[in-house]
């Protein structure tokens, strides 16, 4: 009888949770399905411009030249100044655009920013360094998927040069922003 109990408990433990999904990653199935079915945009809530003011650690969302929402953000660990090279942990400054949506296993969902621009590449080449890349506007790390750590993550600059918002804010942005939307970071 004792072995039967142990066997049932073992089956129950093995059968729980999401199979083959590391605890430090998000399940991407829903996100990928939305992208494949073009269900990742809601025109009624559209945002047509994003401005990030680094010294305020705020993001301003615009529709028809009017601010419709303001969000707190986290930036790169070394937030002052323009990104110069890969690994400097700076968030780039300038005029960019959202060039792609990405289902992110580590940061929920991401809006890819068009950095580096040709001038960033040329400047880095003159100095013999890589300008870096893969700068995104993204959600929270998987350990904060439930948002209970938002006050902690938003009180610090912790990214490697990206702009981070809460997952609830990222979900709203996901449906409100299309590729091509300008983003100004200053």
pLDDT digits (tens, 9 = 90+) for 126-151: 999 999 999 999 999 999 999 999 99
Structure tokens at 20: 């083959």
The pLDDT assigned to 9 comes to: 38
Task: State how far the alpha carbon of 50 is from the alpha carbons of 23, 26, 85, 119, in Å.
Answer: 32, 26, 24, 21
Q: Is the peptide bond before 161 cis (omega within 30 degrees of 0)?
A: no
The pLDDT assigned to 10 comes to: 34
The pLDDT assigned to 166 comes to: 97
57: left (phi over 0), alpha (psi -120 to 50) or beta: left
59: left (phi over 0), alpha (psi -120 to 50) or beta: beta
User: Residue 77 and residue 97: Cα distance in Å, rounded?
Assistant: 22
pTM: 0.84
The pLDDT assigned to 24 comes to: 63
What residue ranges of the chain have pLDDT lower than 50? 2-21
CB-based contact 117:94 (threshold 8 Å): yes
């Amino acid at each position: 009888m004792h072995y039967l109990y142990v066997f049932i408990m073992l089956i129950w433990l093995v059968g729980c949770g999401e199979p083959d999904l590391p605890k430090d990653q998000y399940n991407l199935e829903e996100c990928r399905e939305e992208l494949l079915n073009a269900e990742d945009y809601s025109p009624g809530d559209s945002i047509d411009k994003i401005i990030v003011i680094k010294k305020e650690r705020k993001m301003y969302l615009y529709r028809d030249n009017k601010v419709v929402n303001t969000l707190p953000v986290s930036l790169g660990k070394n937030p002052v100044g323009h990104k110069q090279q890969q690994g400097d942990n700076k968030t780039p400054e300038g005029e960019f655009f959202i060039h792609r949506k990405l289902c992110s296993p580590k940061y929920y969902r991401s809006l890819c920013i068009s950095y580096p621009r040709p001038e960033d590449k040329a400047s880095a080449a003159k100095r013999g360094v890589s300008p870096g890349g893969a700068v995104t506007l993204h959600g929270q790390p998987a350990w904060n998927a439930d948002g209970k750590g938002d006050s902690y993550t938003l009180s610090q600059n912790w990214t490697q040069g990206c702009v981070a918002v809460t997952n609830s804010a990222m979900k709203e942005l996901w449906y409100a922003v299309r590729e091509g939307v300008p983003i100004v970071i200053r």
